[in-house]
Chains A and B, each alone.
Chain A
Amino acid sequence: MSVGGRSSASATARLSVLVAVLSVPAFTGVWELIARSGIVNAVLFPPPSTVAVAILEWIRTGQFFGDLMASLSRVAGGFAVGAAGGIVLGVLTGRVRLVSSLLSPLFHILRPIPPIAFVPIVILWFGLSETGKLFLVVWGVFFTVWLATHIGVQKVDHGLIRAAQMLGTPQPQMLWEIVLLGALPYVTVGLRTAVSISFYTLVAAELAGSFAGIVYRIEIAQQNMQTGQVMGGLAALGLLSFVADRSFAILAERAVWWR
């Protein structure tokens, strides 16, 4: 009885693995069929084969690499600056009451404004320069990381701080070692959220006017009615964002090294 039950359970498990492996090819196949059947307009809804050709062409001409680098450098640069600022100010507002009184009300007012809403003023301030794009990404990342750090710092085990006080820990070491490492599990969650946010804001930044980048390529392709290229761009953006999130998750796991 029990043996039979177990083998049927393992059969179910095997079946679900099989279904999972076939899921994407199956949908791609159905998409190919529908796009080729003439039910839909193939110009607006090209089959995956057309998308694949567009992607290969994109890579072959060398444009893909340039676009990738342009987008990656905006995301990485904006993330680094925003995250560093968010962590530093988060530790200070979380731990030093005077700094918190000074900055927290301001940050809480600015934080809920979607970064995309800043596109018009960013264009006024920075034109179409890289600085403006960096600004948007930094803006999106900063508040997320700041809030996570601020909350994390306040949740640091008070006993750890007392123990460190009793051992004569000087104030700078208290902030940048005990408090920051104590808050690290929260900070990494904030950083991971900020990875996705940096991609959202990248879209806004590149749509606002740029000369290279994955989202720029999508926009140009749209204007030329190259739907296959548009979809190829979306796929590239999705893949890039996915890889960034996964690799950050692995990194975050290692960052809290003592667990």
Chain B
Amino acid sequence: MIPSLLCPDQPLRLVDTHSPSASARQAIIRVEDLSIVFDVPSGHVIAVDRVSLAVTQGEFVSIVGPSGCGKSTLLNAMAGLERPFEGQVLIAGEAMLAPRPEIGMVFQQPHLFPWKSVRRNIAHGPRALGKSKAEALRIADDLIAMIGLTKFASAYPHTLSGGMQQRVAIARALANQPRVLLMDEPFGALDAQTRAVMQDNLLELRERINATIVFVTHDIDEAILLSDRVLIMSAGPGRILKDLQVSLPRPRSSAIVAEAAYLALKRDCLDLIRSEGRRAFEQMEIRT
């Protein structure tokens, strides 16, 4: 009953699995043979090693992997914050060489502008894109209502809790109505309870916005709960190990973690990560 949920034979490049022309039209994000190399004092480190993937319009894809596996670097490349060493990232057919306002990003830390109120933080993007002040504030007020912080509209970020700050950061990223929302461990710095609330919030939010979401996390539960598809990355050098379809029904809530189908999926992920961890560890021993 369970194996049907998994697609173990699914290759790395989703584009190639379906009829190429149709999925090529649908794929909003295409990462093609992307490598990213960092210069370090002792030479260089391959953070991302010839990764290819495609994300379909409207899809929620998580990238899971151990710390330092290059998942954040991969996301930064999608954001245009990191230049490819080889290969390219195409979003809506255009190479990402610099940030574009139609691609929103939420970081692990909220990075709110401390000198702006909640309202002005959210209005920042529309203002930067040349919208009138009134229009920008109207967009902000709508989003503030959506994240349930109307009472805190004129509060400054430092007066808010970590979870509230991150909700504002999400609203700020949504204010430009991005086609793609990139999230880099957005709940990683929050306590377990707040994180669960935030995950439910994000699930609800997702029903209301039609952005494609790429979500980086090291938390497998979080990835399965939120995503349509989970990409598992290996460390050193960063590669995509597995592409898992999550066919659990929506709408979902964090209650899903007790269901058998969910647990089977999670066991599969853990096995993969464990064996990969062992392989990486052994490889390291051989090298040294």
Contacts and interface: CB of A to CB of B under 8 A. Distances in A.
To the question of whether A and B form a pair in one complex, the answer is yes
Interface of A: 157, 159-160, 162-170, 173, 178, 181, 184, 257-259
B70 interface: no
B113 A166 contact: no
A94 B245 CA distance: 47
A169 B127 CA distance: 9
Interface in B65-114: 79, 81, 99-101, 103-105, 107, 109, 111-114
Given A166-B79, A184-B115, A257-B115, 13 more contacts: A157-B111, A162-B111, A163-B111, A163-B172, A164-B124, A165-B99, A166-B104, A167-B172, A168-B100, A168-B128, A170-B128, A258-B114, A258-B156
Given A159-B109, A258-B156, A259-B158, A166 B173 contact: yes
Contacts of A178: 113
Nearest to A170: B128
Contacts of B113: 160, 163-164, 178, 181
A157 B114 CA distance: 11
B1 interface: no
Contacts of A166: 79, 81, 99, 101, 103-105, 173
A164 B81 CA distance: 12
Given A162-B81, A258-B156, A167 B125 contact: yes
B192 interface: no
A167 B81 contact: no
Contacts of B157: 258
Contacts of B112: 163
B62 interface: no
A166 B91 CA distance: 14
Interface of B: 79, 81, 99-101, 103-105, 107, 109, 111-116, 124-125, 128-129, 156-158, 169, 172-173, 175-176
B109 A167 contact: no
B19 to A, nearest CB: 34
Nearest to B178: A166
Contacts of B125: 167-168
A181 B169 CA distance: 19
Nearest to A181: B115
Contact of A159 (B99, B107, B124, B129): B107
A97 B129 CA distance: 26
Nearest to B98: A165
A174 B15 CA distance: 38
Contact of B107 (A162, A168, A173, A258): A162
A41 B214 CA distance: 85
A168 B115 contact: no
B210 to A, nearest CB: 19
A258 B158 contact: yes
A162 B112 CA distance: 11
A196 B176 CA distance: 46
A223 B214 CA distance: 79
Nearest to B81: A162
Nearest to A161: B111
Contacts of B79: 166
A165 B157 CA distance: 19
A93 B95 CA distance: 31
Nearest to A178: B113
A158 to B, nearest CB: 9
B114 A167 contact: no
Contact of A168 (B101, B116, B158): B101
B114 to A, nearest CB: 5
A181 to B, nearest CB: 5
B139 to A, nearest CB: 12
B128 A169 contact: yes
Contacts of B111: 157, 159-160, 162-163
A162 B65 CA distance: 23
B81 to A, nearest CB: 6
B115 A167 contact: no
Contacts of B129: 168
A27 B169 CA distance: 59
A258 B117 CA distance: 9
Nearest to B125: A167
B240 to A, nearest CB: 24
Given A178-B113, A257-B115, A167 B176 contact: yes
B158 A167 contact: no
Given A160-B113, A178-B113, A167 B101 contact: yes
Nearest to B113: A160
Contacts of A168: 99-101, 125, 128-129, 176
Contacts of B104: 166
B140 to A, nearest CB: 12
16 contacts: A159-B107, A159-B111, A162-B107, A163-B105, A163-B107, A163-B113, A166-B79, A166-B81, A166-B103, A167-B125, A168-B101, A168-B128, A168-B176, A178-B113, A181-B113, A259-B114
